[in-house]
Chain A
Amino acid sequence: MRGIRGIVGVLAALALVAVGCTSSPTSDSGGGGGGDGDDGGSGEQVTLDYWVFEGSDSSFSDAILSAFETANPNIDVNLTAYPENNYEVKLNTAIAAGKAPDLVLVFGPEQMRAGLLLPLDDMVQEQDLDLSTYVPAIVEPGDEFSCNWEGQLYCLGSYVGSVQMLYNKDLFDAAGIPHPEPWPPMTPDEFVDIACQLTDEASGVWGGAASDPLAYVPFDMLFSADGRTAQGYVNGPDFVDQFETLANGYEQGCLPTSNILDPWEQGRDYFANGQLAMVITDFQDLPKVENAGINYGTTAVPTPEGVEPYFFVWSDSVGVMASSEHPDEAKEFIAFLTTEGQRIRYETNGDIPLDLAEAEAIDWAAGISGREEGLEILSHARPLVFVPTRWDVIAPYYDAWGFVIGGEKSPQEALDEAAPGIQENLDKAWSAWEQQG
């Protein structure tokens, strides 16, 4: 009996050690404002660990790593890809284990605020980068896609992505519908109306595709100006109206549901095949559409009357972990990514450089009207109301949309049911945000 008690005691002690034996990465790494390390020096062979999302642009990754390593023979970059859903978990686990990579994708201000990333302002000065021509939504303070937190820059990327609407000019001409201007955008009512005019079931052509109202309706309509109240906004008359408008489009058979095609994943494919007259999708991968011979135009996403238009803008923002043992080399990689990397990205994927001056220098638009319109729209990008963990907060919204599309509830009923859940999530998100601060 005494022997058994002894064994249990040892096990409990071991378990306590296992639980207690975690170190705060910030205490190891020197904190958010940590200075550069003095390692790496001149000529020392260094390996940088760089974690990316699985499925992301392998041709670009291969090209940029090859080019960077050629330009910097003493630096090897070890690329590892993780599924996007698991990326944050993998990263947090690695941080807890003290094995975080050197270079990471930045997907929100949480990492910057927690001091997990190194500021890059010194690198920007040393490299003499002119950020005034970079897309402001990325380099100036804004929403969760911005690399700027409290006046310091923590990440940079090689391209700018955005949500815009492509339309097939030939289908518009055949139906006698005037081409929309790139800016200001049409209203959602106009979008659904035109989609219904252009839908041709016999030819297998859908008039338009949009996943759900939030593909184009600004989040400002769901929250108060300070981002802390959703009740009354989510289920207010303005947003309910947007639900009804798009739901009508589905009901009339003018728009395919996400069960038939996903505008984000498949929109450009269907558009390139001439099966979609309009699609709200990522403004990327345009060569696919151009090589298919589609005569396309670009316009901003539909916006309700009286609402300032908004569209998501992002980059492949890469930051340096504060725990990196090779911060100088890691910053060199980011400098390369955001300068030479833009050209490499354009050559491999055709994406828009993050630096709009570079876009002009390489003649990204190449006289293609759809591209010129896209650049014009990009100049109107603006920041959005900040809400912590925005996509988790609005999870009940997707339930509401599912009920409406399934014909089980009216938009008002569905949103009235979703609003308390969204408000509860919002309160928890702000509480967690303030505790973290």
Chain B
Amino acid sequence: MTRKGLQARKEQRAAYLFLSPWLIGLIGLWLIPIIASLLLSFSEYDIITPPQWLGLDNYRELFDDRTFWVSIRVTLKYMVLSVPLYIITGLLLSMVLNLKIRGINMFRTLFFLPAVLSGVAVAVLWVALLNPDVGAINEALRAVGIDDPPRWLDSPRWAVPSVVLVGLWGIGGGAIIYLSGLQNISAQLYEAVELDGAGPFQRFRYVTLPMLTPTLLFVLLTSLIDAFQVFDLAYVLSRGGTQGIGDSLTFYLINLWDEAFQNGRYGYASAMAWMLVLGAAAVILVIFKTSGRWVYYEYDPERER
């Protein structure tokens, strides 16, 4: 072997040595548990007795499980309501926060503050606010003449919208991401369209929105992932994962948590976890596949050719 080859091998060994702590963590705390959960999804496991191989029985049982389909319906309902709402309100808020007026930094801080509060603390606060009998929101609605206000978390119709409403509290976090995107849009683009006589809406439509599409893609993906994973908010709002009146708050992860930790069916819960992974992966794949049609990147190698 040449001297150069020996040196390269030495450097490679050193590289692996420095990477080893991270690799050990990746393998031990991520890869092995993932493979273990995949194997458990084909087993019956109650944590006290050894796993028993079941083959595809857990997956077959899922399709016959009424609660499984309810949890998908509730999670999809939440997704359909929350994702567009959070994207649009976050964008509108960021445009307001992008104004160059005195004191704007204070407003940016105030709107971002709820995003750094503990989700559990926020949810506990909202349980009190949304109390249908003595909560502040319904007291205010009665004060303005609405005698029969919604029963919020105690109503199957209003339960999911209530969770969406609570999530709006943290919209400042998304607005900050849009804000950074807005501030990266070149002023020259605005100058150019203004010279062509574009008004505010046209500036938004032809400059702001296209230039923000990479940020929108990021926010869309993270919002969808958050919607799939909603747990702590739903758990506290349903007062301990009771799944709400008429299963109205039976989110997918709440159901998964119940199967694992209430019913002791860790194998079945693992199967549910893998179905979630597959479902989420399919949705994200579709978004990535279609993103080429609506996401505009300033540098596009295809266009350059």
State the A residues within 8 Å of B (CB).
Answer: 11-12, 14-16, 18-20, 22-25, 85-86, 89, 92-93, 95-96, 114, 257, 259-260, 392, 395, 398-399, 402-403, 405-406, 408, 424
Q: Contacts A259-B154, A406-B154, A406-B155 given: A12-B35 contact, CB under 8 Å?
A: yes
Enumerate 5 A-B pairs (CB-CB under 8 Å) in ascending A order: A18-B32, A92-B47, A96-B48, A259-B132, A398-B242
Asked whether, in the complex, the Cβ of B48 is within 8 Å of the Cβ of A25, the reply is yes
Verify B133–A19 contact, CB threshold 8 A.
Answer: no
**Which residues of chain B have C-beta atoms less than 8 A from A23's C-beta?**
50
User: Complex: how many Å from CA A11 to CA B31?
Assistant: 8
Q: Kindly state whether residue B2 has any CB partner on chain A within 8 Å.
A: no
Q: Is the CB of A22 within 8 A of B264?
A: no
Task: Beyond A398-B242, A402-B245, A406-B154, list 11 extra A-B contacts (CB 8 Å).
Answer: A16-B39, A20-B51, A23-B50, A24-B48, A89-B261, A259-B133, A259-B134, A259-B154, A260-B134, A402-B154, A403-B156
Q: Which listed residue (B32, B50, B151, B262) contacts A22, Cβ 8 A?
A: B50
B35 touches A15 (CB 8 A): yes
Nearest chain-A residue to B157 (Cβ)? A408
Residues of A within 8 A of B151 (CB): 406
**Band of interface residues on B:** 20 to 34
Q: Which residues of B contact A20 (CB under 8 A)?
A: 50-51
Cα-based distance from A399 to B70 in the complex (angstroms)? 15
Is A19 in contact with B155, judged by CB distance below 8 angstroms? no
Q: Which residues of B contact A11 (CB under 8 A)?
A: 27, 31-32, 35
Docked CA distance A86–B262 (Å):
9
Nearest to B28 among chain A residues (CB) is A14
Whole-angstrom CA separation of A96 from B45 in the bound complex = 11
Neighbouring A residues of B134 by C-beta, 8 Å: 259-260
Q: State the Cβ distance, B82 to closest chain A Cβ, in Å.
A: 24
How far is B66's CA from A85's CA once the two chains are assembled, in angstroms? 24
Decide if B36 is an interface residue (CB 8 Å cutoff). Answer: yes
List, in ascending order, chain A residues with CB within 8 A of B43's CB: 19
Question: Which B residues are CB-close (under 8 A) to A12?
Answer: 35
A-B complex: 3 closest residue pairs judged by Cβ atoms: A15-B35, A402-B245, A259-B133
Q: Are A85 and B240 in contact (CB under 8 A)?
A: yes
Inter-chain contact A399/B133, CB cutoff 8 Å: no
Q: Is the CB of A399 within 8 A of B247?
A: yes
Give the docked Cα–Cα distance between A259 and B246 (Å).
17
B40-68, CB under 8 A of A: which get 1 and which 0? 10010011111100000000000000100
Task: List chain B residues, Cβ under 8 A from A86.
Answer: 261
Complex CA–CA separation, A25 to B46 (angstroms): 12
Alpha-carbon distance A395/B242, docked complex (angstroms): 8
Give the chain A neighbours of B89 by CB distance below 8 A: none
Residues from chain B with a CB closer than 8 A to the CB of A22 are: 47, 49-51
Residues in chain B near residue A92, CB distance under 8 A: 46-48, 264
Residue of A nearest to B31 (CB): A11
Q: B262 to chain A: which residues have CB within 8 Å?
A: 392
Residues in B75-90 with C-beta less than 8 Å from chain A = none
One digit per residue, 1 when the CB lies within 8 angstroms of any chain A CB and 0 when it does not, for chain B 240-253 equals: 10110111000000
A399-B247, A403-B245 known; A93 and B39 CB under 8 Å?
no
Contacts of B35 in A (CB 8 A): 11-12, 15
Question: In the bound complex, how far is the Cα of B43 from the Cα of A18, in angstroms?
Answer: 14
Q: In the bound complex, how far is the Cα of B52 from the Cα of A19, in angstroms?
A: 10
Which one, A259, A395, A406, A408, contacts B131 given CB within 8 A?
A259
Query: Cβ of B154: which chain A residues have Cβ within 8 Å of it?
Result: 259, 402, 405-406
Query: Considering the chains assembled together, what is the distance between the CA atoms of A399 and B134 in angstroms?
Result: 20
Residue from the list B36, B66, B247, B264 in contact with A18, Cβ < 8 A: B36
Beyond A11-B27, A403-B245, whether A24 also contacts B49 by CB under 8 A is yes
Chain A residues, Cβ within 8 Å of B132: 259, 406
Asked whether, in the complex, the Cβ of B246 is within 8 Å of the Cβ of A399, the reply is yes
Q: How far is the CA of A22 from the CA of B36 in the complex (A)?
A: 12
Chain A residues in 8 Å Cβ range of B245:
398-399, 402-403, 406
List residues of chain B with CB within 8 A of the CB of A24: 48-50
Residues of A near B46 (CB, < 8 A) are 92
Which B residues are in CB contact (< 8 Å) with A19?
Answer: 36, 39-40, 43, 51
CB-CB under 8 A from A424, the residues of chain B are 66
A399 and B249 CA atoms in complex are apart in Å by 12
Which chain B residues border A398 with CB–CB below 8 Å? Answer: 242, 245
- In-complex Cβ contact of A403 among B27, B50, B246 (8 A): B246
Q: How far is the CA of A420 from the CA of B157 in the complex (A)?
A: 22
CA distance A44 to B109 in the complex (A): 61
- Cβ of A259: which chain B residues have Cβ within 8 Å of it? 131-134, 154
